[in-house]
Structure 1
Amino acid sequence: MKKLKYLILLLAISPVFMFTGCDSGFEEVNSNPNDPSAVPAELLLAGVIRGTGNTAGSAFNGGETGSCWVQHLGKPVYNTNELYIPRQTTIDGVWQNLYTVVAKDASIMQQLANDQGNSNLEGVALVLKVNAFQLLTDIYGDIPMSEALLGDAGNITPIYDDSETVVYPALLSMLDQAMTLLNGTGSIDSSQDLMYGGDWTKWKKYAASLKFKILMRAASGGYNANAQLQALATSGNLFSSNADQAQLVYLSAAPNANPFYETLVDGGRDTEWCLGEELVNYMINSNDPRLPVYAQEVGGNGSGGGYVGKPAGIRAIGDSFYGDSNNVSLIGEKYLEAEQPYYFMTYAHLSLLMAEAAERGYISTGTATDYFNMGIAASVADNGVSGAPSINYAPGATGLTQIGEQLWVALYMQGYEAWAEYRRTGVPTLPLAIDAVETSIPSRYNYPLSQQSLNNANYTAAVAKQGTDNLTTPLWWQN
């Protein structure tokens, strides 16, 4: 009878578990009409994982902003996003989805797992909640956190917490708690764990690797970062191969296929996207073996037409050479496959961060050269090719630039992470979009319109402290 009750409940709240690649709107931050608080903890896991991937990995979210703003991608048509005019539905939808679906359901899962004495699942829930809040704060800046997700308790106007002094320290503390909880006590339903199939040791590696990434992003703010980074480097808990990296492998058909596949292939819009000129030219100049995977030849693979990227942000795109999709390289076939993963964090990303940490003297374990080469090799292998770009690592300032460039290349199709690392490092030097409406590449999203109407006092206080609510107000950790 209990199983029947849970089945009926699942059907009633199916929007929590069945996500598509679109940017659906949800209610205000502290309210969720599909409250799953009575669902067994493990049944929330798949929805939280998929909700993260479908939100951050959407063509209209991480694609049109993150990937296009770092000039990995471009659009031969409808390219106002490249002029730095994002869709309002993106700004509103990312906020709502990450709060009312991902963060809230992860928080509920955490509490239910705690009630059940399931330490492993509680740790997993914490890791996913940290990932959601980091996405939010790195996209918007100061965010509600300490008072967020409390709508059921009557607080629908949460304060905005300072990203540097409150949010980031809380994220690090939650990851420490998660790593303690991930100790083999309790179970993780393998059918619901779309990332690691119930292996708690892999989740612990992701928690440690995510902490390393957060510390590198926050190193300018202190946090005793050097000591913590060194401790992680010697802990044995970080990713050690591509087999450890955190990824959601999608299924072969909608609504559980990769969001780019659903939007571009199923939606018949694959010729509306192409590669950016900066990325294509950089990869050609370095003889990068990943280019034939990242991009299709002009005119389609096998045409012999070579690779051509599109300059960013041409307002009258239809009147230009680049407005014809037959003149540019479309997104590579691998990245348009239904089962192409969404990457929460890759081994290549971690390795290149460790190269930077070694070069800056944050860690003394390993050498920058070795980590640099490991990062490139991991990315090359992940793309199913062999060889390496023609780059010889040079220590010092040159090396830091090389690391930043390879982070930029390795984070292809990981829009929000590529955008974050570009903002943090300032590498590579990218040109402003040709017909840009802003004076610089965006630093953040402005806050959703709903916050101005539903939480105006706290919104106004946040803007007064952080700076004008526009796309070019820099975040505290930005280069």
Structure 2
Amino acid sequence: MNNILKKSAVLTVLVFSFFSCKDLTELNVNPNGVQPELVNPNLVLPTVLSETGKAVVNLGFQDIAGVVQHTQKDAWFSSHNDYDWGGDQSWTPYYDLLRNNDLLYQRAVAMNLEYHQGVALVMKSMIFGLITDIWGDAPYTNGLKGEQGGADFITPKYDDQQTIYTGILSDLDKAATLLSKPKASYSSIVENTDFYYNGDPAKWQKLANSLKLRYLMRISAKQPDVAKAGIEKIMANPTQYPIIDDASADATMAYAGNNSGDSWPSNTVYDVSGSNYRRLKMCTTLVKPMQATNDPRLAVWAKKVEIPLAVDATLPAGTDKIVNGIRYLSPDKVGTTAIDTDPNYVGLPPSVSQLPSGYNFNPTPGQTSYNPHVSYLNEIYMQAKGTLLKARLMSAAEVHFILAEAAQKGWAAGDAKTHYEAAIKASLTAWGLTSSYNTFIAQKGVAYDGTLAQLIGQKWIASWTNATEAWFDYRRTGLPVLTPGPAAKRKALPLRFYYMRDELNLNKTNSGAAIEKLETTANSQSDGKNSAWSKGWLVQGTGKPW
């Protein structure tokens, strides 16, 4: 015991001697980390880009793909198929991203790094765009100032959607200017920290201008004059305002595939049970129109059905047998039950029942989600990474569809048919199918007919894995016409996420004021105003989508 006390006394003397020689500010440096006020922007950039990319996929390949009927799930399905969301749809991860991005921006300003400033403004616009698109009014002006203290910052007011979109458009203008110089004019670009464009400012400038097209079209029903003027300004001067006009400039992020956190979400490499992959099926709503036009993307996205069904009236009553890989049923075995006998691709209908795993006479319904009579996704979605397994944040296809719609409105945005066809070609190119373009564009239903329904319908298909954009287009246009299935929570598609319970409890005054501005509908009345079926500013008074 005495020896321990002696050693403790010596240690105490040494510690005090060390502290006496050090300034307190020096001692306050974390030896195992990087001080925020000293961090190099290149250390923050990868986190912002990778986490944003994953967030886009987690929305557009998961529950929102269920909303717009790209996919359905046949086990643990109620959130995906039936919109059974509740009140825990948190925006906290998005604001965490924004705080990291704000640190990136502030450090870039302090170090006079214009490339990093421009990139940070683009990412700020994209993330705040997601927040207001999904929830509606949200903390914006004071949303990232919590460290300053005071009620205005700790419990910030909610800015209205119009203010947020105006701010986004302004920030994208600033970003495009900051990113307008040749690459050699910038300093401290570390290419491998940029998971989207490998440090290419010209492509980031294209993304800034293309995002501006997205948000101008987003507000077009509420502020048509602003949208028209903004789109026409960009299109009038392509040298000053370059855009993503071919698939080589798409804003995408490949998955690293090193662990479960940086791999494609349905992979079976790290999810050894394979549950995430098996549960997710193509939706009938998407499969049928793709089959009708011989869409080559269907074979890239889905597998052919393992065991097709066939109903044969010549078979004896009670027949149910597999012959040469086909399951044959006599009519009495089927009765009045809906059945899909397509020999190639079979989708799962939207919200088909309280037991979607039983669809199409699955012999083993249940949570195991094995159904040989419904198409699985293509095997590529079992992999952790791959050339096609990318977060797709903005594409040439989307840009050309936006411009085709603008041209259909009579705005000076070019020729609608030319943009429509360029959009189709860009989408096929992104999925490795450029050689299929000439045949596909000549198909009945694909060849341009000048209607908004066709344009938005093809844009809806092209938004595969980024279904949030299809959701926002549906909300704005009511297209494509989508009908909930019989087991859905409401008889209409949802329009927004619920404000989360923490906000309702901890920022009650400001969240309450935002909720009061929502417009109730026939589908939202049982929830009150804070409903997924209430209308925010963006669709109020438009008569859309229902």
What TM-score comes out, normalization by structure 1 length?
0.87
Q: CA deviation at 1:86?
A: 2.6
Query: Percentage identity across aligned positions?
Result: 30
State the number of aligned residues: 440
Partners of 2:71 and 2:281 within 8 A in 1: yes
Partners of 1:117 and 1:186 within 8 A in 2: no
One of 531, 537, 543 as aligned partner of 1:470: 531
Q: CA deviation at 1:330?
A: 1.3
Q: Secondary structure at the match of 1:168?
A: helix
Aligned to 2:320: none
Partners in 2 of 1:88 and 1:466 — Cα distance?
Answer: 16
Alignment CA distance shift 1:438-1:200 (3 Å): same
Q: Secondary structure at the match of 2:61?
A: helix
Q: 1:410 and 2:442 equivalent?
A: no
Aligned to 1:75: 73
Larger helix proportion, structure 1 or 2?
1
Alignment CA distance shift 1:279-1:470 (3 Å): same
The residue type paired with residue 399 of structure 2 is: L
With 372-381 and 185-194 compared, the bigger mean Cα shift is at 185-194
Alignment deviations for residues 407-435 of structure 1 (CA, whole Å, 9 cap, x no partner)? 10000111322211222221111111221
Alignment deviations for residues 312-345 of structure 1 (CA, whole Å, 9 cap, x no partner)? 1122224443655211111223344423110111
One of 100, 120, 128 as aligned partner of 1:125: 120
The residue type paired with residue 293 of structure 1 is: V
Alignment CA distance shift 1:263-1:220 (3 Å): farther
Q: CA deviation at 1:181?
A: 1.2
Partners in 1 of 2:92 and 2:216 — Cα distance?
Answer: 26
Q: 1:8 and 2:32 equivalent?
A: yes
Q: Structure 2: which 5+ runs fail to align? A: 1-25, 309-324, 327-342, 520-528
Alignment CA distance shift 1:6-1:69 (3 Å): same
Q: Secondary structure at the match of 2:294?
A: coil
Q: CA deviation at 1:111?
A: 1.1
Alignment CA distance shift 1:212-1:267 (3 Å): farther
Alignment deviations for residues 257-299 of structure 1 (CA, whole Å, 9 cap, x no partner)? 2233379855512111100011000111111111101211111
Q: CA deviation at 1:146?
A: 0.6
Q: Secondary structure at the match of 2:197?
A: coil
Aligned to 1:20: none
Aligned to 2:196: 195
Alignment CA distance shift 1:229-1:450 (3 Å): same
Alignment CA distance shift 1:320-1:309 (3 Å): closer
Partners in 2 of 1:98 and 1:37 — Cα distance?
Answer: 22
The residue type paired with residue 475 of structure 1 is: G
Larger Rg: 2
With 312-321 and 428-437 compared, the bigger mean Cα shift is at 312-321
Partners in 2 of 1:42 and 1:406 — Cα distance?
Answer: 38
1:283-298 correspondence runs (5 A): 283-298=290-305
Q: Secondary structure at the match of 2:221?
A: helix
Aligned to 1:352: 401
Q: Secondary structure at the match of 2:252?
A: strand
Q: 1:114 and 2:139 equivalent?
A: no
One of 426, 445, 449 as aligned partner of 1:394: 449
Aligned to 2:354: 315
Alignment CA distance shift 1:267-1:86 (3 Å): farther
One of 378, 383, 388 as aligned partner of 2:426: 378
Q: Secondary structure at the match of 1:307?
A: coil
Partners of 1:79 and 1:315 within 8 A in 2: no
Q: Secondary structure at the match of 1:326?
A: coil
Alignment CA distance shift 1:248-1:300 (3 Å): farther
The residue type paired with residue 376 of structure 1 is: I
Partners of 1:157 and 1:454 within 8 A in 2: yes
Q: CA deviation at 1:104?
A: 1.2
Alignment CA distance shift 1:264-1:375 (3 Å): farther
1:54-65 correspondence runs (5 A): 54-58=54-58, 61-65=59-63
Q: 1:279 and 2:292 equivalent?
A: no
Q: CA deviation at 1:473?
A: 0.9
One of 234, 241, 245 as aligned partner of 2:236: 234
Q: CA deviation at 1:171?
A: 0.4
Partners of 1:121 and 1:186 within 8 A in 2: no
Q: CA RMSD in A?
A: 2.3
The residue type paired with residue 429 of structure 2 is: A
Q: CA deviation at 1:83?
A: 1.1
Q: CA deviation at 1:37?
A: 4.8
Aligned to 1:439: 491
Partners of 2:246 and 2:426 within 8 A in 1: yes
Q: 1:259 and 2:261 equivalent?
A: no
Partners of 1:352 and 1:407 within 8 A in 2: yes
Q: Secondary structure at the match of 1:9?
A: coil
